[in-house]
Chains A and B, each alone.
Chain A
Amino acid sequence: MKVIRHDIVLVGGGGAGLRAAIAAVEVSPETTVCCVSKLYPMRSHTVSAEGGAAAVAGSDDNLDLHAYDTLKGSDFLADQDAVEQFVQEAPGELTQLEHWGCPWSREPDGRVAVRAFGGMSVKRTWFAADKTGFHMLHALFQTSMKYDRIVRLDEFFATKLLVDNGRVCGVAALDIRTGEVTAVLGRAVILCTGGAGQVFPFTTNAAVKTGDGMALAYREGVPLKDMEFVQYHPTGLPGTGILITEASRGEGGHLYNNEGERFLVTHDYGVGNKAELGPRDMLSRAIMREMEAGRAFDGSYGKYVHLDLRHLGEKKIDEKLPFVRELARNFVGVDPVHEPIPVRPVVHYMMGGVDTDITGATPMPGLYAAGEVAAVSINGANRLGSNSLTECLVFGRRAGEAAVRFAGDCADGDERVLVDQAEAEHGRMDALRNKVGGEQIAVIRREMQASMESGCGVFRDQGSMDATVAALRQLKGRYADIGLSDRSKVFNTEIVQAMELRNMLDVAEAVAQTAAVRTESRGAHTRTDYPTRDDSQFLKHSLVNFSPQGPEIGYRDVTLTRWTPEERKY
């Protein structure tokens, strides 16, 4: 068994992971970080973020306003101490990215420009045209190359946390190139594995967003928080689910139904004069209501509405939204300069994740998490667009620094114990690769996704959620009987898919079960049988713990500091 030892083990090389890695080596001149990533870091899904990253910039803005917008967007489920910390550190982090070469779009005088975004009361979203995540990720990745103390294991798949006496001291990682398992040991582990949109059939998320980090932590007894809150983005392309960024509305785009009405203005969907710049949960519901009322268009992939950018003109579209134009032309054959874009709600983001405090620490000693895999929580029941790229930076750095502090204060774990666990993983991989069985990975995955859409979609009710819970139980049983056909070790992507499916089934179950017992509507969790918010019972985070019998669910009060929860009306 190959054993690699570093101070800190990082799983994930997206925005959050790379920020954590750089923070760790910058804060401590000797620390070494080993970055385990199933993709080359610059392929991470942060690359696809389009619209921008939020932080107070202009003289018309202030930290309290950013905090208030975020809390209101979250339907008051975000922790107020975390949000305060977040908005305070956000401008410095985006400036830091500027110093590292991120090509932010500029004002004529050379200052960084900002744009409007949904649920934000003033312009505070920094952007690099409409390829913000791409530029941020490449700037971070290229900057990380400066440090020889950041050691990468590219295309290594983390399969298990290695735990000694309740403390995490590394991960077992499958080298996809060779099929061998390596024990990657360290005194602290940071999970930055991103979200889990792939548990749904129709999503903006890449194939690799399978909730691995959530499942890894969950199976070792770390609770997942607020898993019932899944964000639907209002404007995805039908068929592929490719995202058309909110920046297109931030720059002035409008939504129309099949009667030519700007329905967010002509009907009362609670967004007031914010109209197209209302928060995502409300806009997604409004579009679904339009569909139900027969006011949507019919296409080969079901119903859709129109996003019209034509009045912005070719010059502005090319300058501010070139990627939107490229995507719409390539994937639906529509040039937004001349025609409206067909759009519909699409699964986009997991508000929930591994339970952490504001330093990124989870309840398990030595284990940290940041980025979409984590729930600090600044997003509560509904994330505001452009807060999550910033979240990756703010809490990536915090987790990196906290992990260094933790690692400095403790001894190495017991190598024998840890390597034994990795050996067992190796055996498990060999068995899985050679597994014979009657069930197919792709079929179980498809049924899981369909069941999540029918039970945990934009609108939910007890009956449909209970049916999904039951279906998932049954799919987990069937998973035990999957068969694999690829017996080779070198770049075997079938075994990777098998492990991802297991992770997704655990995550899906956590989503469905927490959703089924939250008998209220809040943010993205909208129940037709309990249509109102219930602060007396549910101003609380859900926490779900793994047990062999099935998920165990508990609750924790939301942290309030200076803002009293109020009705969410715009």
Chain B
Amino acid sequence: MSEPRIVKFEVFRYSPEGAETGEGKWQTYEVPCPDDYVVLDALNHIKDYIDPTLSHRWSCRMGVCGSCGMMVNGTPNLTCKSFVRDLEHPIRVGPLANFPVVRDLVVELESFMDKLKSVKPWIIRKVEKDVKYGEYLQTPDELDSYRQFSMCINCCLCYAACPVMINEPDFIGPAAIALGFRYNQDSRDEGEAERYAVLAGEHGVWNCSYANECSEVCPKHVDPAAAVNREKLVSALQWLHILPKKGA
């Protein structure tokens, strides 16, 4: 293996306690990075061997748990998938934009969790079939109609990229809309009418200015912008009573 190279990182530090309070600051670290290092590896190196007071979230290190989203050189990214060798130096790592900061690189996610729940992300049926009668049939085409929208890992990069979020923090946002849409599209579900009030309501799809930023940063190609747009169309037609609501 080739010798690790020393890379400069500027990492955002903030603490609500003690001397660190206030606006926060950028702290510089020099990290020896092997060629296959991702930004998360560098943060872990800092934590383990340079400065154990740094706080950041991570878990799977394989791009699927959604914990490690941060601003990397100004763009929302999964740090476990951002290779140091592909980035301009010094590398700036900050907390996700559009969320209150708890500490260092850790942001407040409670409002996001409430938004997810608000779209009733579960199968709603008038009558549930007993498990002993087997599965609901669903053809591969029916599966394909919602599959992409079920790929969201709740990493919140789309909220950090969304220009609407800056002024409308109550907007339920791309991931929650994509999730609601995912259930509406599912052939097993009959809950569209129950989700309508939230998806088409005050904080729902009509806040979106269709900047498409969400889909550009999505690491799983969920394309939340497409979900928002299609949900807009459906709710407009339903409002005009041209389309019935499933389950109404």
CB-CB nearest in chain B for A208: B59
Is A488 interfacial (CB-CB < 8 Å)? Answer: yes
By DSSP majority rule, is chain A's interface helix, strand, loop, or mixed? loop
Residues of chain A within 8 A (CB-CB) of B188 are 99, 101
Given contacts A48-B65, A138-B150, A488-B15, contact A99 B128 (CB under 8 A): yes
Q: How many angstroms between the C-alpha atoms of A98 and B130 in the bound complex?
A: 12
Which of B24-32, B46-54, B209-217, B230-238 faces chain A?
Answer: B46-54
B192 smallest CB distance to A (angstroms): 14
Which of B102-110, B165-173, B198-206, B240-248 is found at the contact surface with chain A? B102-110
B121 within 8 Å of A (CB atoms): yes
Q: Determine whether the beta carbon of A300 is less than 8 Å from that of B1.
A: yes
Q: Does B12 contact A (CB under 8 A)?
A: no
Query: A-facing mask of B133-148, CB < 8 A → 1, else 0?
Result: 0111111101100110
The answer to whether A43 touches B122, judged by C-beta atoms less than 8 angstroms apart, is: no
Q: Is the CB of A206 within 8 A of B65?
A: yes
Q: Quick check: A494 and B150 within 8 Å, CB to CB?
A: no
Name the one of B1, B109, B132, B146 contacting A103, with C-beta atoms under 8 angstroms.
B146
Is B56 an interface residue, CB under 8 A from the partner? Answer: yes
- Chain A positions within 8 Å of B56 at CB level: 493
* Bound: A131/B131 CA distance, A: 23
> Could you tell me the distance between the alpha carbons of A301 and B49 in the complex, rounded to whole angstroms?
22
A47 touches B113 (CB 8 A): no
* Cα–Cα distance between A103 and B136 once the two chains are bound (Å): 11
Q: How far is the CB of A560 from chain B (nearest CB, A)?
A: 30
The reply to whether the CB of A289 lies closer than 8 angstroms to some CB of chain B is no
Q: Does A528 contact B (CB under 8 A)?
A: no
CA gap between A157 and B104 in the complex, in Å: 20
Q: Is the CB of A98 within 8 A of B17?
A: no
A496 to chain B: closest residue by CB: B55
Q: Is A101 touching B183 in the complex (CB atoms < 8 A)?
A: yes
Chain A residues lying within 8 Å of B59, measured Cβ to Cβ, are: 39, 43, 45, 206-208
Q: How long is the Cα–Cα vector from A327 to B38 in the complex, in angstroms?
A: 14
Minimum Cβ distance to chain B for residue A243 (Å): 8
Minimum CB distance partner of B152 in chain A: A138
Give Cα distance in the complex from A177 to B17, angstroms. 12
Whole-angstrom distance between the Cβ of A138 and the nearest chain B Cβ: 7
A519 CB, nearest partner CB in chain B, Å? 37
Asked if residues B52 and A484 are in contact (CB atoms below 8 Å), the reply is: yes
Would you call A406 an interface residue if the criterion is a C-beta within 8 Å of the partner chain's C-beta atoms?
Answer: no
Query: Distance in Å from the Cβ of B5 to the closest Cβ of chain A?
Result: 15
| A95 part of interface (Cβ distance < 8 Å) | yes
Given known A-B contacts A40-B109, A138-B150, A300-B1, A491 and B135 have beta carbons under 8 A apart:
no
Pick from A109, A145, A239, A240: contact of B139, CB below 8 A. Answer: A109
- Contacts A48-B65, A95-B134, A488-B17 hold; do A493 and B150 have CB atoms under 8 A apart? no
Q: Which residues on the B side are within 8 Å of A103 (C-beta)?
A: 143, 146-147, 150
8 Å CB interface, A95-110 against B: 95-96, 98-101, 103-110
How distant is the Cα of A432 from the Cα of B78 in the complex, in angstroms? 32
The verdict on B154 contacting chain A, using a C-beta distance below 8 Å, is yes
Q: For residues 77 through 120 of chain A, which have their beta carbon under 8 Å from a beta carbon of chain B? A: 92, 95-96, 98-101, 103-112
> Chain A contacts of B122 at CB under 8 A?
100-101, 142-143, 145-146
Q: Fill in one digit per residue for A251-272: 1 if any B CB lies within 8 Å of its CB, else 0.
A: 0000000000000000000000
For the complex, what is the distance from the CA of A484 to the CA of B47, rounded to whole Å?
Answer: 12
Please classify the interface of chain B as helix (H, G, I), strand (E, B), loop, or mixed, using the class held by over half of its residues. Answer: loop
Cβ of A121 within 8 Å of any chain B Cβ, yes or no, is: no
Q: Which residue of B lies closest to A144 (CB)?
A: B122
Interface residue A42 (Cβ < 8 Å from any Cβ of B): yes
**With the chains together, A104 CA to B146 CA distance in Å?**
12
Q: CA separation between A40 and B47, bound complex, in Å?
A: 22
Contacts of B66 in A (CB 8 A): 42-43, 47
B77 at the binding interface (Cβ < 8 Å): no
- Asked if B116 lies at the interface with its beta carbon under 8 angstroms from chain A, I say yes
Decide: B16 and A106 in contact? CB cutoff 8 A: no
Contacts of A99 in B (CB 8 A): 123, 128-129, 131, 135-136, 188
**Which residues of chain A have C-beta atoms less than 8 A from B62's C-beta?**
48, 240, 242-243, 327, 331
A441 within 8 A of B: yes
With A43-B65, A491-B104 known as contacts, the answer to whether A206 contacts B60 (CB < 8 A) is yes
- Least Cβ–Cβ distance between A205 and chain B, in angstroms: 9
Residues on the B chain within 8 Å of A62, using CB: none
Find the A residue at minimum CB distance from B104.
A491
A330 / chain B contacts, CB cutoff of 8 Å: 63, 81
Minimum CB–CB distance for A193 against chain B, Å: 14
Contacts of A442 in B (CB 8 A): 47-49, 52
Question: In the complex, how many angstroms separate the beta carbon of B227 from the nearest chain A beta carbon?
Answer: 16
Task: Tell me the nearest residue of chain B to A327, going by C-beta.
Answer: B62
Q: Does B117 contact A (CB under 8 A)?
A: yes
Question: Are A96 and B131 interface neighbours, CB within 8 A?
Answer: yes
Across-interface contacts of A111 in B (CB, < 8 A): 135, 137
A134 touches B129 (CB 8 A): no
- Contact partner, A206, options B61, B117, B121, B154, Cβ 8 Å: B61
Closest to A43 in B: B65
Within 8 A of B (CB), among A38-91: 39-40, 42-45, 47-48
Contacts of B1 in A (CB 8 A): 300-301
B22 on interface, CB distance cutoff 8 Å: no
Chain B residues, CB < 8 A from A100: 122-123
Give B109-129 as 1s and 0s: 1 = Cβ < 8 Å from A's Cβ atoms: 100010011001111000011
Q: Write the nearest CB–CB distance from A53 to chain B, whole angstroms.
A: 14
User: In whole Å, how far is A413's beta carbon from the nearest beta carbon of chain B?
Assistant: 30
Cβ A131 vs Cβ B116 within 8 A: no
**Known contacts A48-B65, A145-B117, A490-B16; A95 and B143 CB within 8 A of each other:** no
Alpha-carbon distance A42/B15, docked complex (angstroms): 26
Nearest neighbor of B128 in chain A, beta-carbon distance: A99
Given the known inter-chain contacts A42-B66, A491-B103, please indicate yes or no for A108 contacting B55, CB distance below 8 A.
no
**Chain B residues, CB < 8 A from A545:** none
Interface residues of B in 147-162 (CB under 8 A from A): 147, 150-151, 153-154
* CB <8 Å contact, B102 and A177: yes
Q: Is the CB of B65 within 8 A of A490?
A: no
Query: 17 A-B contacts, Cβ less than 8 Å apart?
Result: A43-B59, A43-B65, A47-B65, A101-B123, A101-B189, A105-B143, A106-B140, A109-B139, A154-B113, A206-B60, A206-B65, A301-B1, A484-B52, A488-B18, A490-B102, A491-B104, A491-B106
Interface residues, chain A, with chain B CB atoms under 8 Å away: 39-40, 42-45, 47-48, 92, 95-96, 98-101, 103-112, 131, 134-135, 138, 142-143, 145-146, 154, 177, 206-208, 239-240, 242-243, 300-301, 323, 326-327, 330-331, 441-442, 484-494
Q: List the 7 closest A-B pairs by CB distance, nearest first.
A: A110-B137, A442-B48, A491-B103, A300-B1, A142-B121, A486-B53, A43-B65
A98-B135, A101-B188 provided; 10 other pairs, C-beta below 8 A? A39-B59, A43-B67, A95-B131, A96-B131, A101-B189, A104-B135, A109-B139, A110-B138, A110-B142, A491-B104
